[in-house]
A and B are shown apart, each in its own frame.
Chain A
Amino acid sequence: MKRRYTIIVFTENNFGLLNRITIVFSRRRINIESLTVSETERKGISRFTIVIEYEEANIKKLIQQIRKIIGVLVVFHNEDDEVFYGQIAYYKVETKNLEAREKVMEVAYRHQAKVAYSGEDYVVIEKTGKEDEISTMLHLLEPHHLLEFVKSGRIAVVRDQARFGKYAQNLGPEGWYSDEEFHELRLHQTYINGNN
């Protein structure tokens, strides 16, 4: 049976790694629903959030294939109820007159979205939330003549801290350094020790 998974991958910030990771999916004809990559609070370490639908029976094998890539530090998969997740969306809506503007503002207000920009011809509404919340708001704003719409990929944090902590440990005490930095540091130390 297919299920939706949020795969979280920590990697070295190396050139080409994104490519290597997406090959794991494309080779198996898996469609990536969303993919978000950004640097973590640790310099030189990236965090991937990948959302896919995949066979429950095979997900672990897929995770092993990602884990196998050199430069991947930690990888784990979660179902939707195991993560806090969301995305961000921008709606640019035409506002020809005051009445239209008020209606749009009201929708935004009711849905706890914020107005990022308000100009003469249009307003930009910024909304964070889950996929269904974003699309509900899209439906509500569409009648008001939507000029532009964009939503980001999903980002997520793990609910179970004990489980996440176990993974985070694997980033290791040297985790504050990227691989190259760590190696240079060691060379440096060997040099000093060698001279002593």
Chain B
Amino acid sequence: MTEQAKTKQETPPAQAASHKKETAEERTVKGSEALMLALIEEGVDTIFGYPGGAIMPIYDALYDYRDKLHHTLVRHEQGATHAAEGYAQMAKKPGVCFATSGPGATNLVTGIADAMLDSVPIVCITGQVHEKLLGTDAFQETDVMSLAMPITKWCYQIADADEIPLIIAKAFYIARSGRPGPVLIDITKNAQQAMMNKPFRYEKRRQIKGYKPACTPREKDIIKAAALINEAQKPFIFVGHGILLSEAQEELLKFVEKTDIPVASTLLGLSAFPSDHPLYVGMLGMHGNYAPNILTNQADVIIAVGMRFDDRVTGNLDRYAKQAKIIHIDIDHAEIGKNVHPEVGIIADAREALLALTPQVKKNNHSDWKKEFDELYEQEYAQVISQDFDSTGGHIKMGTVMKMLSEKTQGQAVIVSDVGQHQMSSARYSKFKQTDSWLTSGGLGTMGYALPAAFGAKVGAPQREVVAVIGDGCFQMTIQELGTIAQSGLAVKIIVMNNNFLGMVRQWQQLFFDTRYSFVALQNPDFITIAKGFGIPGHKCESFEALDASLDTLLHTEGSYLLEVAVEKEGNIFPMIPSGMGVDQIRLS
């Protein structure tokens, strides 16, 4: 109350401001300009978008700020969302998209849903029709709020220019804090056009009532977890996307090296832990490595950090790690106990949790346990990996391409993978020596993700080599973004693994539907000619003998390049946990 009483005696802020000399930040501006100022305050310098009727006042304001806010014109709004995702993950700050009302906004939906499932911070700004026209089925009017609600972390419609600074601050805070996610802000045309009633002022948000993201772990949970870890004979660490989001790579390494516990990664956790580390045992899940899947059902303590026990990781839950005591660390309280019941649930930022945990655990040696992984790896190597690396029989195998690419880039490149067989090959055979080197669409499995995401990644980390690995099906879903890449002048390396099939669906049809190939064959266009039409050079590699030189051309050509590789038509991805089976029922063939 004292604060309030004090406030009343002072001059009201609006009046006080008018006495002061007007600075750039304190001008009274239009809603559209307020948005530009707010974005700059949030540290935004990159926008991916597509203009249209209802967002034109914003694009007009952007014209004056184009030196500070670099806008990339994509070719389809879905491309903007994936580019923003790629950007956000490499630049470590929220990606920003602009789109117009109606079809512009509906085209964002896939990318927003993708960002939601993969916890990627993006802020989408959509134009909306004039407030007076809302609900009248006006031209390009869609109820974007209702569309966005189930697929955003938060969404809001602004119909009053005065709200813009406050809501944008809230949007960025929500997108990047806690478990990150997509936020959509819909701004009516009148709010864009109207003058604000007060001078523009901005304050970054640090808290919101009704939203308390977890941060530090509770001490009693840490003590309980440490006791379990110290007692464990066969402990096992699972790492997920949370490690990358909380930038806990170093803390993870310290924790792992002190405890000497084997580490497996989820699909989205790849590159969080160096894949050449002696304690790294591979990837979990349906097409993960053999040893980590089998031994999940033999571990006595599982320490899961920043992962969510997705059904593609666990297989049949009734057969999943029943013998193990699970320590689950996640920033999202709703994930603890959602799929598996943990012995200890730690609701905290992964980095904070590891920082608290490491001093409490004993230095240990688990080399006998680690040997079990090595033995199973040898089995996998003999039956699967060695064959995937052998393309001498006339067909190029995806595994061979990825192995060679990984060697040529020395595990330093950012691999952006699309969805399907080539995704699993890339995940299995890329070696990561540097962190933040792997982007893919995991939760939603969005075909067409990789090309725009790779572009966004290159914008976010121009100093890194970015290689998009794409299937022939996926490529045709967002192929138009070749235009965006060409116009930007940035160097994105593109590998299209062409088997003239929707490979993963074909594999399932072969294995589980009696080889009844139902609409999976593709008659493809000449991808190289298409790329050339966009101004991107490329060539097709059709033999194993030419592969080495082809990859060199891809990597050494200045600027963007498309390498199409004709891969084995009916190759299958193994190991595989058939749908509905347990992790220990993983098949090698």
Residues B209 and A179 in contact, CB atoms below 8 Å apart: yes
State which residues 156-194 of B face A: CB under 8 Å: 156-157, 166, 174
Let me know if B333 is at the binding interface, CB within 8 A: yes
Contact A71 B211 (CB under 8 A): yes
Contacts of B68 in A (CB 8 A): none
| Partner-contacting stretch, out of A29-37, A93-101, A112-120, A181-189 | A181-189
Binds A, one of B2-10, B353-361, B385-393, B468-476: B2-10
The residues in B between 118 and 168 inclusive whose CB is less than 8 angstroms from any CB of A are 145-146, 149-150, 153-157, 166
Give bound CA distance, A49 to B354, whole Å: 39
A60 within 8 Å of B (CB atoms): yes
Assess whether B166 is in contact with A180, with CB atoms less than 8 Å apart: yes
- In angstroms, Cα B307 to Cα A15, docked, is 32
CA distance A191 to B491 in the complex (A): 47
Q: Does B201 contact A (CB under 8 A)?
A: yes
B208 touches A70 (CB 8 A): yes
How far is A190 from B150 in the complex, measured between Cα atoms in Å? Answer: 36
Chain A residues lying within 8 Å of B155, measured Cβ to Cβ, are: 16
Contact of B209 among A16, A27, A174, A188 (CB under 8 A): A174
* Residues of chain A in range 27-85 having any CB-CB distance to chain B below 8 Å: 27, 60-61, 64-65, 67-68, 70-73
Residue A169 at the chain B interface, CB threshold 8 Å? no
Q: Is B334 an interface residue (CB 8 A)?
A: yes
Q: By the criterion CB–CB under 8 Å, are B174 and A67 in contact?
A: no
**Taking the nearest CB of chain B, how far is it from the CB of A86, in angstroms?**
28
A103, CB-defined interface residue at 8 Å: no
Bound complex: CA A195 to CA B209 (Å)? 26
Is B465 interfacial (CB-CB < 8 Å)? no
A183 to B211, CA, bound (A): 14
Query: In the bound complex, how far is the Cα of B14 from the Cα of A188, in angstroms?
Result: 10
Contact A19 B16 (CB under 8 A): no
B3 A189 Cβ-Cβ under 8 A: yes
Contact in complex: A11, B149 (CB < 8 Å): no
Inter-chain CA distance A14–B145, complex, in Å, is: 13
User: In chain A, what residue has the closest Cβ to B17?
Assistant: A191
Cβ of B146: which chain A residues have Cβ within 8 Å of it? 19
User: Quick one: given A16-B145, A19-B149, A64-B334, are A71 and B7 in contact (CB under 8 Å)?
Assistant: no
Nearest CB to that of A74 among chain B residues? B210
- Contact A61-B211, Cβ < 8 Å, known A27-B150, A183-B166, A188-B13: no
A187 near B203: Cβ-Cβ < 8 Å: yes
Contacts of B332 in A (CB 8 A): 68
Q: Are B10 and A192 in contact (CB under 8 A)?
A: yes
Are A71 and B210 in touch, CB under 8 angstroms? yes
- A194–B415 Cα gap in the complex (Å)? 48
Query: Is B337 part of the binding interface, using a Cβ–Cβ cutoff of 8 Å?
Result: yes
Given contacts A16-B155, A64-B334, A68-B333, contact A187 B201 (CB under 8 A): yes
Task: Indicate if the CB atoms of A182 and B337 lie closer than 8 Å.
Answer: no
Name A44's closest neighbour in chain B (CB-CB). Answer: B209
The answer to whether residues A73 and B210 also contact, given A67-B334, A180-B166 and a CB cut-off of 8 A, is yes
For the complex of A and B, the 9 pairs showing the least CB-CB separation, nearest first, are: A64-B334, A71-B210, A191-B13, A70-B211, A68-B334, A179-B209, A70-B154, A73-B210, A12-B210
Q: Which residues of A contact B (CB under 8 A)?
A: 11-12, 15-16, 19-20, 23, 27, 60-61, 64-65, 67-68, 70-73, 172, 174-175, 177, 179-180, 182-183, 185, 187-192, 195
